[in-house]
Amino acid sequence: MFDLDRWQEIFETIAKNRLRTFLTGLSVASGIFILVILLGFGRGMENGIRKEFERDASNRIIVWTQTTTKEYKGLNPGRRIQMKNENFDHIEKAYSKELEHRSAIFRVPWGTTTNYKNESVSYAIRGIHPTFQQIENQLMVDGRYIDHMDLNARNKVVVISSKIKNELLKNVEDPLQEYLQISGINFRIIGIYSDLGGDREENNLYVPFTTAQSVFNGADKLNNLTFTLKPEKSFDEAVRASNIFTGEIKQYLQEVHQVSPEDNSAINVHNMLDEAKRFYTLTDNIAFFFWFVGICTIIAGVVGVSNIMLIIVKDRTREIGIRKALGAKPWSIVGMILQESIFVTAVSGFAGLILSMGLLEIVGPNVEVDYVVNPSVDFSIAMTMVFVLIIAGAIAGFFPAWRAASIQPIEALRDE
């Protein structure tokens, strides 16, 4: 039931102690404000890290080789390790049940020229398998990607990026009817792709793996292997499976190419899931720290509310004694103090919430630095925090209120 006299009394008390009430409310509002901003920044970090991993499949595994650095079985260090088709075929067959996508990569030597009519440029050219599209998270803008028929027939076809199309064929109405000359050999354009990684990832031309090996004197050599594994039930299980897989293929390649198990340079395996786990663990720890700092700030504000209520009870001791002498019930005294405590906490909490959410709404979409993108907070979480704060304010006000209700009228009337 709405009690107008009670609310007038609360506003009169606040008006008499404006500075004290303002400072109390400021401590509560700042607690919510800081917590929401910190949580928004934490979410921004999650968004930024997620965007980084969107460039390629998040469970991508990449294999490449360098020179040996240790003597092994009578072989001197400094040997260049060269992977071959048989290595890819063995892994593909041995792990057919575990693999989702797989591709060998043949890199056409840098400096190979690409010509279109009178234009001559140098782009990175890679020979790949059809599922490389899924591994790289590439989207087709026009036409199609390289398929198994191209691979088997060693077709001279090429897939270009939107960036290359705009640079090299900007005035061409239908690029899919055109040819590029790579080292003087005609390759028909069959598709245009875009890459989530942006312009940096769109400086590549893709041709069938078998075509690249035969046309550019690759024989049976390859430069990289790249895989993704089938999804697991949980993230931890996926990390465990990928670590087992990477360990086994590294061991296999070391044995085949006679590389010392202690040589960490010759055979290199990069596991994106392992890297993702480190980043997500870091963001979880940062989020925990932000929650801790924000909650401590809120607790400080709630303690401030409790202290102010104690001061208010002390200031109104004679008034409370008179109320009790006139027949006021203990719970009416408790309700009076609690109502003021909840009112100050609620108004301050919502003020802090509105300011922080407004700031994130205005500034958040424009924030895009390394690993921090669009900091924001779920509104339901923010509202829940405010209601928890109000409950905490009620609890903070209860103890001073209970003390007020316990005052004996005769003692209260003697108070100076």
Q: Which of 169, 174, 152 is nearest to 205 (CA)?
A: 169
Of 144-153, 213-222, 236-245, minimum mean pLDDT range: 236-245
Half-sphere exposure of 400 (CA within 13 A, CB side): 28
* 309-333 pLDDT, tens digit each: 666 666 666 666 666 666 666 666 6
Annotated domain spans of the chain: 4-53+279-414, 60-272
C-beta of residue 127 within 8 angstroms of C-beta of residue 208: yes
Number of other CB atoms surrounding residue 326 within 10 Å: 8
* 14-61 pLDDT, tens digit each: 676 677 777 777 777 887 788 788 888 777 777 766 665 555 456 789
Residue 201 confidence (pLDDT): 79
Residue 81 confidence (pLDDT): 94
Contacts of 53 (CB under 8 A, 6+ apart): 272, 276, 279
Residue 13 confidence (pLDDT): 67
Residue 405's pLDDT band, with cuts at 50, 70 and 90, is low
Q: How far is CA 241 from CA 61, 99, 257, 261, in A?
A: 12, 11, 24, 21
Q: Which residue has the higher pLDDT, 6 or 254?
A: 254
Q: How far is CA 246 from CA 98, 180, 223, 309, 406, in A?
A: 12, 38, 17, 63, 71
Three-state SS string over the chain comes to CCCHHHHHHHHHHHHHCHHHHHHHHHHHHHHHHHHHHHHHHHHHHHHHHHHHHHCCCCCEEEEEECECCCCECCECCCCECCEEHHHHHHHHHHCCCCEEEEEEEEECCCCCCEEECCEEECCEEEEECCCHHHHCCEEEEEECCCCHHHHHHCCCEEEEEHHHHHHHCCCCCCHHHCEEEECCEEEEEEEEEEECCCHHHHCEEEEEHHHHHHHCCCCCEECEEEEEECCCCCHHHHHHHHHHHHHHHHHHHHHHCCCCCCCCCCEEEEEHHHHHHHHHHHHHHHHHHHHHHHHHHHHHHHHHHHHHHHHHHHHCHHHHHHHHHCCCCHHHHHHHHHHHHHHHHHHHHHHHHHHHHHHHHHHHHHCEECCEECCCCCHHHHHHHHHHHHHHHHHHHHHHHHHHHCCCHHHHHHCC
* 75-101 pLDDT, tens digit each: 889 999 999 999 999 999 999 999 999
* 327-383 pLDDT, tens digit each: 666 666 666 777 777 777 788 878 888 888 888 888 777 766 666 667 777 777 777
